[in-house]
């Protein structure tokens, strides 16, 4: 099992102190007031699951990116004014995602280069329609700090957000969503989170859900 504090271990080792004192069994941990519904049981992460949100896709860059590409095409096709912020935290994955979008023929922009180039990309994104670049591929770092991107009404997270230094996943994700959900936004913003089943991504997302709930 995994506790809200992030410590994990066998049910036998942890359940005694948790049930008796409501505390984490790890020496020195300040976590307290733990109840049964706060626990994340690892067995639930590896059970085979299929529901209405499960997407099965295949492509040269793997099933995850194939699913992202498929959903992007659907979102862009349903309304010629739909615009998407696509966040990918890790540089190697973002490079691979860049290649997957090119292969799929999806026009997109990035916030790279000089401040002037980044400003131009944002300005073009704000007015893009039809076959223009309506997808903006972004990192989750200071490169887009302060950017007002209320032209976007869809936000894609290519993977569960991870902590960065002192910044928690919830803080990083909230700031990313805030690029579109801020003053001046007049449309509903839909957030999409993509994760691979029966992998560590499920465990990370479960932890992030606990943090978002708090």
Taking only the tens place, the pLDDT of each residue in 57-84 is 667 778 899 999 999 999 999 999 999 9
Q: Which two tokens stand for residue 133?
A: 């670049």
Strand partners, 109: 136
Q: Where are the domains of the chain?
A: 1-41, 63-202
Mean pLDDT comparison of 2-6, 50-54, 140-144, 157-161, highest-scoring range: 157-161
Residue 99, pLDDT > 90, answer yes
Using CA atoms, how far apart are residues 125 and 180, in angstroms rounded to an integer?
12
Task: Name the CATH topology of 63-202.
Answer: Rossmann fold (3.40.50)
Residue 208 has which token pair?
């992030």
Whether residue 1 contacts residue 14, with contact meaning beta carbons closer than 8 Å, is answered with: yes
Q: Indicate the pTM of the whole model.
A: 0.72
Can you give 138-197 as a three-state secondary structure string? ECCCHHHCCCCCCCCCEEEECCCCCCECCECHHHHHHHHHHCCCCCCCCCCCEEEECCCC
Tell me which DSSP letter residue 84 carries: E
Q: How far apart are CA 146 and CA 91, in angstroms?
A: 20
CB under 8 Å to 37, separation ≥6 — which residues?
A: none
């Amino acid at each position: 099992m995994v506790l809200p504090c992030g410590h994990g271990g066998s049910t036998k080792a942890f359940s005694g102190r948790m049930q008796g004192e409501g505390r984490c069994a790890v020496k020195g941990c300040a976590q307290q007031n733990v109840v049964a519904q706060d626990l994340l049981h690892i067995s639930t992460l590896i059970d085979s699951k299929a529901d209405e949100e499960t997407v099965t896709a295949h492509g040269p860059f793997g099933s995850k990116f194939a699913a992202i590409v498929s959903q992007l095409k659907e979102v862009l096709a349903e309304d010629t004014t739909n615009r998407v912020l696509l966040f990918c935290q890790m540089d190697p994955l973002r490079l691979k995602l860049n290649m997957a979008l090119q292969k799929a023929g999806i026009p997109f922009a990035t916030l790279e280069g000089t401040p002037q180039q980044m400003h131009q990309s944002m300005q073009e994104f704000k007015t893009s329609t039809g076959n223009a670049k309506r997808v903006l591929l972004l990192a989750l770092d200071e490169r887009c700090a302060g950017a007002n991107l209320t032209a976007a009404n869809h936000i894609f997270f290519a993977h569960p957000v991870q902590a960065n230094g002192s910044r928690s996943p919830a803080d990083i994700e909230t700031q990313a969503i805030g690029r579109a959900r801020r003053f001046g936004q007049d449309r509903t913003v839909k957030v999409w989170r993509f994760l691979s089943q029966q992998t560590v991504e499920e465990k990370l997302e479960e932890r992030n859900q606990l943090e978002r709930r708090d």
